[in-house]
Amino acid sequence: MPLDSLKNKKICIIYGGWSEEREISLMSGQAVYDVLKSSDYEVFILDLKNNKQMLSEFVNNNSIDIIFNLIHGKGGEDGLVQSWIEDLKIDYVGSNSVSSSTSFSKITTKKIWAEHKLRTPDFITSTELLNYLCDDKDSNITELKTEINKKCEVFFENNHKFVFKPSCSGSSVGIKIYDDLNLLLNDKKDILSNNSSEYLIEAFINGSEYTAPIINGKVLPIIKIETKREFYNYEAKYLDDNTSFSFPEFSTEQELSIKEVCLKAFESLNCRGWGRVDFFIDKDINLIEINTIPGMTSHSLVPMSAKHLGMSYLQLVEELLINAEK
């Protein structure tokens, strides 16, 4: 879509939502709304609840042409809201419902990356861990249990420090690092006894943390993240003033290699539009996760990277909107 024609479109920012990341979403959505409003765009904003009809009525009553979904976390980033928008048959920014659902699961994401020969830290799932700890002698699952036991034994032999994290969550919510399995089991007893949610136990990578924003098939300047905390958690992301961000100077060859890996990681999940690929570098690039609806707050990394490239916040938002699709 040409930029000129964007001025004739009615744009709706949906934000808020009902996940643990609601407050961040409210800030992201308000920032995008404000910059469009001040630039004379016909823009609307909707604090969307878990209600498909609410979205449908708002879109129809205001003759909306394009939706910019900035709901982070469950509901907004896992394919649900995307499926609602798809039923409305209008253009929207970001990945479709299928790729959103796929990439929201860290476990599914890591399995797909492994299939594409992309390096990601070893892991076991909470289900596998429970099976490993269980003394069930059911002959029907003996072969499977043996396989799981072997996988878990190898994991704990090779990794004396590991990360416990929800498979489906964002903003580093619920992540904790352990160096002792018994500590993990005691600390997460209630969670592990409740099989309603899947978790993963991932090998700890002792390296520097980076993120690569991706906009419409192009990898923006890579950001190195350094925090005084044990890792880049929720507080480090949104509350701390001493978390530092820099644009490291890689060799031309290394930068091309990193960008190629990150773009392949993004495309292997059929993501589109925009996103952010998080990774560590020790000796190699270790992919961690993808964010298909990154933050757009004053602390957020995608606007920071775009600014380093010379793009204003408004130009970034416009670039995303003109590439919206059904």
**Using CA atoms, how far apart are residues 48 and 279, in angstroms rounded to an integer?**
31
- Residue 311 one-letter amino acid: M
Helix axes 313-322, 22-37, angle to 10 degrees: 90
CB 39, CB 94: distance < 8 Å: no
Domain limits, the chain: 3-93, 103-119+207-318, 123-203
**Tokens (6 digits) for 208:** 């520097």
Task: List the beta bridge partners of residue 11.
Answer: 43, 66
Indicate which residue of 238, 275, 300, 305 is catalytic: 238
Q: What is the DSSP letter of 38?
A: T
- List per-residue pLDDT tens for the chain, 326 residues long: 888 899 999 999 999 999 989 999 999 999 999 999 999 999 999 999 999 999 999 999 999 999 999 999 999 999 999 999 999 999 999 999 999 999 999 999 999 999 999 999 999 999 999 989 886 655 555 777 789 999 999 999 999 999 999 999 765 567 899 999 999 999 988 888 777 789 999 999 999 999 999 999 999 999 999 876 655 545 555 555 668 899 999 999 999 999 999 999 999 999 999 999 999 999 899 999 999 999 998 789 999 999 999 999 999 999 999 999 99
- Residue found under tokens 């690092």: 177
Can you tell me whether residue 64 is helix, strand or coil?
coil
Q: Which fold has domain 123-203?
A: Dna Ligase; domain 1 (3.30.1490)
The per-residue DSSP string of 131-173 comes to HHH-----GGGHHHHHHHHHHHHHHHHH-SSEEEEESS--TTT
Rg (C-alpha) for the chain, rounded Å, is 21
What pLDDT was estimated at residue 146?
87
- 99 part of the active site: no
Q: Provide the CATH number for the domain formed by 3-93 in this structure.
A: 3.40.50.20
Contacts of 38 (CB under 8 A, 6+ apart): none
- 122 part of the active site: no
Indicate which residue of 291, 300, 305, 318 is catalytic: 291
Q: Which CATH architecture fits 103-119+207-318?
A: 2-Layer Sandwich (3.30)
Q: In 10 A of CB 268, how many CB atoms?
A: 19
Helix axes 52-61, 80-88, angle to 10 degrees: 40
- 119 part of the active site: no
CB 286, CB 279: distance < 8 Å: yes
Can you tell me whether residue 240 is helix, strand or coil?
coil
**Using CA atoms, how far apart are residues 295 and 302, in angstroms rounded to an integer?**
7
- 282 part of the active site: no
- 17 part of the active site: no
- 305 part of the active site: no
- 284 part of the active site: no
Helix axes 142-158, 126-133, angle to 10 degrees: 110
